[in-house]
Amino acid sequence: MDYARFRSRLGAHILDILLMIPLVGLMIAIGAGNQSTAISLIPFQGLILCAYTFYFHAKSGQTLGKRWLGIKVVTLEGGPIGYAGSFRRNLIMLCESLPWIAATMIAALHVTEEQFSTLHGRAYTQLLRSLQPAWYPVVAKVFAVLLLAEIASIFLSKRNQSLHDFIAGTVVVKLPPRTQPLAPAPTEPVNT
């Protein structure tokens, strides 16, 4: 197997995040007019990338970003990872998302209706950060260290596996370039 390198894996992840921006933006727009709706949408904002990668890895081993860059998640034997493998592979992302969801919901519950209706964009984001529980910055630092360990493991393992690959028993492989079938050569009419 030809294992995918860090650069292609990172590129695919960035493409996947870019695909999620309009969906998150739509959720923010839906919640903009009503504080309780905005609060109820926070879990969906935090879990959308996790759900997206879970589904696509389980179904085909490829998110859209991975497909565009010609890489795929497979088992160590080269087979599909299925739903159980995809769940194990996405466990770290799920564990990273849950504290953000909890801290953001706690902060949002402390925003007054007046603050919600008058603050927008960066000012609202700063207010939410200031209202997050004291434990959240510590948890965020722990996950930052975990992210560095994820990246380091790709460079240090023989198969370019990250921690979530080790947990799930998966690898990310490069797919052979797609080849277009040649068009048949035009035939000359046969005179009979």
Q: Please answer whether residues 1 and 173 qualify as being in contact, where contact means their C-beta atoms are separated by less than 8 angstroms.
A: yes
22 pLDDT higher than 70: yes
pLDDT at 186: 60
Within a domain: 187 = no
Question: Could you report the per-residue pLDDT of 78-136, keeping only the tens digit for each?
Answer: 999 999 999 999 999 999 999 999 999 999 999 998 998 888 888 888 999 999 999 99
pLDDT at 190: 59
The H or E element spanning position 74 is strand 71-75
Within a domain: 119 = yes
DSSP three-state, residue 172? strand
For tokens 């492989």, the residue is 173
Within a domain: 168 = yes
Q: Which residues pair with 75 in a beta bridge?
A: 170
pTM value?
0.82
For tokens 């599909």, the residue is 80
Within a domain: 125 = yes
Q: How confident is the model at residue 192 (pLDDT cuts 50, 70, 90)?
A: low
68 pLDDT higher than 80: yes
pLDDT at 180: 52
Alpha carbon distance 42, 24 (integer Å): 10
Question: Could you report the per-residue pLDDT of 136-162, keeping only the tens digit for each?
Answer: 999 999 999 999 999 999 999 999 999
Within a domain: 185 = no
The H or E element spanning position 137 is helix 135-156
Within a domain: 163 = yes
Within a domain: 74 = yes
Number of domains in the chain: 1
For tokens 């709706």, the residue is 37
183 pLDDT higher than 80: no
* Helix boundaries (H) for 4-120: 6-31, 35-59, 64-69, 82-89, 91-109, 113-118
Per-residue burial over 49-82, b if 16 or more Cβ lie within 10 Å, else e, is bbebbbebbbeebbbebbbebbbbbbeeeeeebe
Q: How confident is the model at residue 182 (pLDDT cuts 50, 70, 90)?
A: low
Percent of the chain with pLDDT over 70: 93
Measured in degrees and rounded to the nearest 5, phi and psi for residue 74 equal: -135, 170
Structural domain boundaries, residue 163: 6-174
Within a domain: 191 = no
Q: How confident is the model at residue 28 (pLDDT cuts 50, 70, 90)?
A: confident
